[in-house]
Amino acid sequence: MSASASATVFALLAAALALGAFGVVLHPLWRARRGSALVLIAAFTVLAGGLYRLVGTPVALDTAMIERPASLDQAIAQLEVNRDRFPDQEGWVMLASAYARAGRHAEARDAWEAVLQRAPDEADYLAAAAEARAQADAEHRFDARAVEYLQRALKQAPDHQRARFYLGIALRQQGKAAEAARTWEPLLAALGADEGATLRAEVDAARKDAGLPPLPAPKPPEPGANALTVTVALDPAFAARVRLRADATVFVIARQPDGPPMPIAVEKHTVAELPLKIVLDDADGPMPTAKLSSLREVEVVARISESGTPMRQPGDIESKPVRTALPAKGPIALTLGGD
């Protein structure tokens, strides 16, 4: 097998290992606080690719060192033999992850200890070792050494999300609700809207248990320069005589007048959401080099696309374009299906 093919095999194996490891350690939290478990599962899905980045491109993987594994057990057996033949601690990292994937949690814990003997200050390894200790525990709790690993990881990398998530869980397990809330709160700014809302509920639950008030409601993001408020509605007469699919796509587009057809800003909605009131700004730009904030004039149009494709197709229903100077003095009103 070529080095690139071997690398691909182990990249896929690493992804499977990373995803499989989360379920066990989150089991007690799922029973007590299902929301936190959902947050962790969503956030740590990215670690599937992260493990491959962690160990780098395994240039040493060739047929002279290791054969293509036919199963996880065979991969573990090969890694047990060859763990010290990879650069640095990479073989041990993969072996520890493979043990966890196979449910051999005590062996995974011990393998991560071997990793830390070789790289004691790497935040990723410290967080993984703490996770392994919780997996190996009969009650899936983070023990004192695991907590110490997580604290060390955060000293090395204060923005390390995985370590901060786990430390918050460990503190909740210890009944330290206020400390858990303080540990989790910095993560809110780094998460998307859905994950952030779920974690915020858990933070507020921890704060309540600690006798603290809930966090202030998050402020809506402020629109950027030249932001456009746009309303989109169906013409009543048109809506009365034409039946549209509720899931048909509605594009709301701002483009440069007399310029290329590529949007400067665009949002995608559905007919079921009409009438719409939205704000177009730089965050809606498909191209980082072309921004609404850089224009002095803009043309705004709405289009119903049955096919859902961004490019205009025969049969699409489009509003009359509205051209306006920027910054606009008021909302832009678009009507679909009118004369």
Q: What is the pLDDT of residues 224-239, one digit of tens each?
A: 788 999 999 999 999 8
Task: Please give the average per-residue pLDDT across 179-192, as a whole number.
Answer: 90
- Flag whether pLDDT at 201 surpasses 50: yes
Omega of the bond leading into 327 within 30 degrees of 0 (cis): yes
Using the predicted structure, report yes or no on whether residue 317 has a pLDDT greater than 90: yes
pLDDT of residue 222: 66
Taking only the tens place, the pLDDT of each residue in 103-147 is 999 999 999 999 999 999 999 999 999 999 999 999 999 999 999
**Count of C-beta atoms within a 10 Å radius of residue 247:** 10
pTM of model > 0.95: no
Type and span of the H or E element at 125: helix 123-136
CATH class of 3-209: mainly alpha
The full set of domain ranges for the chain reads: 3-209, 228-336
State the chain's mean pLDDT as an integer. 82
How would you classify the pairing of strands 249-255 and 322-325? unpaired
Distances (CA, A) of 210 to 30, 179, 221: 21, 9, 29
CA distance 8 to 57: 9
